[in-house]
Amino acid sequence: MKQSNIVRITADIMFPFIMIFGAYVVLHGHLTPGGGFQGGAVMASGVVLLLIAHCDKDIKTLIPTQILKNVETFGLLLFGLSALAAVILGSGFFTNWLVNTGLLFGTPVEYGPNPGYLNTGGVIPVMNIAVGLEVLAALSVIAVIMFRSTEPDCGGEEQ
């Protein structure tokens, strides 16, 4: 039982575009609607699409679960450490210590409409990336593990 060629090839073509769109939503989280959670969910939907389209193959080689688990842990650690770094630098937990410093993501922004500068936001883009990685990996791991532990009927036609 496997999916038809149309489903598999369409999933293969759409997968990079879905991942790029999710990465765009994550990276521009402080400028446009969206953010870490939304972009991570979009990217996880790409992984689930791949999972559904190629469900007759070996899922372990297609989507490496262990790497995804490591990515999830890395995201949560990056989130916590970027918050803890403010304590080390002498202010409160979760203080935005990168904003208006001129360093990475530190360009000052004036009040009012502007076209949206990517190099702003202080620690917000860092946390967006961390949460995006974590949501991507977490939802993918949940889908893959539920998929591998059941006996899924892929629903395609017999070939």
Partner 1 sequence: MNRKNGITVCIIAIIAVVLIYAQSGISFGDPVYQDMDQYFLLNGQVQTGGNNICTDVVFDFRAFDTLGEATVLFTAVMGVIVIFRRLMKGEEYEAE
Q: Contact positions toward partner 1, by CB under 8 A? A: 29-37, 66, 69, 72, 75-76, 79-80, 83, 94, 96, 99-100, 105-112, 114, 116, 120-124, 127-128, 131, 134-135, 138, 141-142, 145-146, 148-151
What are the helix (H) ranges across the chain?
5-27, 36-53, 59-62, 65-88, 124-149
Minimum CB–partner distance for residue 120 and partner 1 (Å)? 4
Q: Which lies closer to partner 1 via its Cβ, residue 49 or residue 145?
A: 145
CA 147-26-63 angle, 5° bins = 25
Q: Which lies closer to partner 1 via its Cβ, residue 106 or residue 156?
A: 106
Q: Which lies closer to partner 1 via its Cβ, residue 9 or residue 87?
A: 87
Q: Which lies closer to partner 1 via its Cβ, residue 15 or residue 37?
A: 37
Minimum CB–partner distance for residue 73 and partner 1 (Å)? 8
CA atoms 132, 140, 159, 61: torsion sign: positive
82 near 99, Cβ under 8 Å? Answer: no
What's CA 144's distance to the chain center, in Å? 16
Minimum CB–partner distance for residue 44 and partner 1 (Å)? 11
Both tokens of 28, joined, read 């521009």
Rounded Cα–Cα distance for residues 136 and 42 (Å): 8
136 near 47, Cβ under 8 Å? Answer: yes
Q: Which lies closer to partner 1 via its Cβ, residue 18 or residue 83?
A: 83
Minimum CB–partner distance for residue 92 and partner 1 (Å)? 11
Minimum CB–partner distance for residue 34 and partner 1 (Å)? 8
Q: Residue 119 carries which DSSP code?
A: T
